Chains A and B, each alone.
Chain A
Amino acid sequence: MKIYFCQLLAFLIVISGCINEDQPVAFPEGEVEGLKPIYGNLAELKDIRIEAPRQLERPGKIYRKGGFLYINELAKGVHIIDNTDPSSPEPVAFISIPGNVDIAAKGDVFYFDNYNDLVAVRITSGNQVEVLKRIEDVLPAGNNFPPGNDVYFECVDARKGVVTGWEATILVSPKCYR
């Protein structure tokens, strides 16, 4: 019965308005607190490069391969750690991959998400990255809704670029809500 109740509650929340328009959400006229998308420049967002090792800030997923560890830095890239001696792991480099969250590898080829693109990358011995293949727009835009719930936001306009984040702002007569 508890499950039933939860689903019913879910239904009520849906009809109370997750969608932008034509829902009984009261869209206020005038100024209201909310979120607006931060758009990124496409060329910069597709720039994948090796940098000096850096500190962990917001670590995400982890991947182990051979004597190395790969730690995602949320939406920024991947830390490469030499873990031959797990008592003394050595950060060796950082791969800057805007929008990255996931990591997989086969042989010496790595697969990363780079916002909506899937990229196949090889890290060469000279500490360079070679993008072997980029499959564009194969992954969904995960950022088209702001984090959290019960918030007004400025509707996303894909013509302005890729949404890289959200910032608090004062909206005027917003038309989007979740």
Chain B
Amino acid sequence: MKKMNKTLFAIIPIGLLLLAFSGCEESNDSMRLDSAGQAGSMARFAISKNNLYIVDNQNLLFFDIADATNPEPKGRVNIGFGIETIFPYRNNLFIGSTTGMHIYDISTPTNPVKLSVYRHVTACDPVVVQDNYAYVTIRDGVECRFGENQLDVVDISNLREPQAVSTYLMYNPHGLGIDGMSLFVTEGEQGLKIIDASDPFNLVFRFEINSFHGYDVIPNNGHLIAIGKDGLYQYDYSNPDNMTFLSKISVQ
């Protein structure tokens, strides 16, 4: 694995050149601060404490929002090409890109410090985090060439050395969300997969709902919101063995 990382490191600048001109346009963030809301995994905006973080294609921008009505730009750091999504968790930002997951320390909010990069083949990839594990989906597509379709579980207990612990083949994973033992992955035309993540080394695929197109999800305390080309779907998953359909708002 180490050797491969070194090889990759040498070759990645070449791949990045390409990504400068492609890259995945869609994307996202999430946060659980009381005063902020909760986004899906595709977000490019994230709020952590008194700061708003935004990723563009190459940079992480940060704004002081201690006074919410008066966001003040505080700087930016270059991350690399193909940056797509941002997920704040505790004192860290987990940034999804077409080349991997970047982990930043934001203990000093206006001085994000890069801790590590979990690299993989180039593909679109949002990330969510819970406790010591990050869940990363990797998807191929028109704008994310050379991709696989898979879900990686990554041990981040050492933030400087993220380690893959398990990998699963997927159909066409887009957004994802985790709440306790339940992991939800939207699978594009194949809808939504519900996965038991109580053992991160051995995820168990419970069942799927494939009656709609799935783009992103927000799970929260037994209540799931899913969005896709067909519209907005809501489910009750307080009993994970029996997802209950609540409502739908269809597209026109």
User: Given the interface contacts A86-B246, A132-B69, does A6 sit within 8 Å of B43 by beta carbon?
Assistant: no
Distance (Å) between the CB of A89 and the closest chain B CB? 6
Assess the A105–B69 pair: CB atoms within 8 A: no
Assess the B61–A138 pair: CB atoms within 8 A: yes
Q: Which residues of A contact B47 (CB under 8 A)?
A: 104-106
CA distance A18 to B16 in the complex (A): 13
Assess the B29–A104 pair: CB atoms within 8 A: yes
Assess the B11–A4 pair: CB atoms within 8 A: yes
| Interchain Cβ contacts within 8 Å, total number | 192
Assess the A59–B71 pair: CB atoms within 8 A: no
Q: Which residues of A contact B40 (CB under 8 A)?
A: 61-63
CA distance A87 to B249 in the complex (A): 11
Query: How big is chain A's contact interface, by range?
Result: 35 or more
User: Given the interface contacts A107-B35, A145-B21, does A62 sit within 8 Å of B216 by beta carbon?
Assistant: yes
Assess the A3–B18 pair: CB atoms within 8 A: no
Does A125 count as interface, using CB distance less than 8 angstroms? no
CA distance A75 to B4 in the complex (A): 40
Pick from A9-17, A25-33, A153-161 the stretch touching chain B.
Answer: A9-17
Q: Which residues of A contact B236 (CB under 8 A)?
A: 86
Does B172 count as interface, using CB distance less than 8 angstroms? no
Q: Which residues of B contact A69 (CB under 8 A)?
A: 225, 232
Assess the A120–B12 pair: CB atoms within 8 A: no
Assess the B220–A87 pair: CB atoms within 8 A: no
Name the residue among B7, B25, B44, B45 with the largest chain A CB count within 10 angstroms.
Answer: B45
Does A50 count as interface, using CB distance less than 8 angstroms? no
Does A7 count as interface, using CB distance less than 8 angstroms? yes
> Using a CB-CB cutoff of 8 Å, which residues 29-87 of chain B contact chain A?
29, 31, 33, 35-40, 42-47, 52, 54, 56-58, 61, 63, 65, 68-71, 73
Assess the B54–A64 pair: CB atoms within 8 A: no
Q: Which residues of B contact A66 (CB under 8 A)?
A: 37
Does B223 count as interface, using CB distance less than 8 angstroms? yes
Assess the B36–A106 pair: CB atoms within 8 A: yes
Distance (Å) between the CB of B127 and the closest chain A CB? 15
Assess the B46–A138 pair: CB atoms within 8 A: no
Distance (Å) between the CB of A99 and the closest chain B CB? 13
Assess the B45–A102 pair: CB atoms within 8 A: yes
- DSSP class of B's interface residues: helix, strand, loop or mixed? mixed
Count of chain B residues near A, Cβ 8 A: 69
CA distance A178 to B18 in the complex (A): 11
Does A149 count as interface, using CB distance less than 8 angstroms? yes
Assess the B247–A87 pair: CB atoms within 8 A: yes
Assess the A118–B21 pair: CB atoms within 8 A: no
> Using a CB-CB cutoff of 8 Å, which residues 75-131 of chain B contact chain A?
121-122
CA distance A142 to B54 in the complex (A): 14
CA distance A125 to B40 in the complex (A): 26
Chain B: residues with CB nearer than 8 A to chain A? 4, 7-8, 11-12, 14-15, 17-22, 25-26, 28-29, 31, 33, 35-40, 42-47, 52, 54, 56-58, 61, 63, 65, 68-71, 73, 121-122, 142-143, 145-146, 215-216, 218, 220, 223, 225, 227-229, 231-232, 234, 236, 246-247, 249-252
Q: List, sorted by A's number, 28 A–B pairs whose CB atoms are closer than 8 Å.
A: A9-B146, A19-B21, A60-B227, A62-B227, A64-B218, A65-B37, A66-B37, A86-B225, A86-B234, A89-B234, A89-B247, A102-B45, A104-B39, A104-B43, A104-B45, A104-B47, A106-B33, A106-B35, A109-B65, A109-B69, A132-B69, A133-B70, A135-B71, A135-B73, A138-B73, A140-B57, A140-B58, A149-B22
Chain A: residues with CB nearer than 8 A to chain B? 2-4, 6-11, 13-14, 18-19, 55-66, 69-71, 81, 83, 86-89, 91, 101-109, 111, 113, 118, 120, 122, 132-133, 135, 138-140, 142, 145, 147-149, 178
Knowing that A11-B18, A108-B68, A139-B56 touch, tell me 19 more A-B residue pairs with CB under 8 angstroms: A7-B15, A58-B229, A61-B28, A61-B43, A62-B40, A63-B40, A64-B218, A64-B225, A69-B225, A69-B232, A103-B39, A104-B29, A104-B36, A104-B39, A113-B45, A133-B70, A140-B56, A142-B25, A149-B142
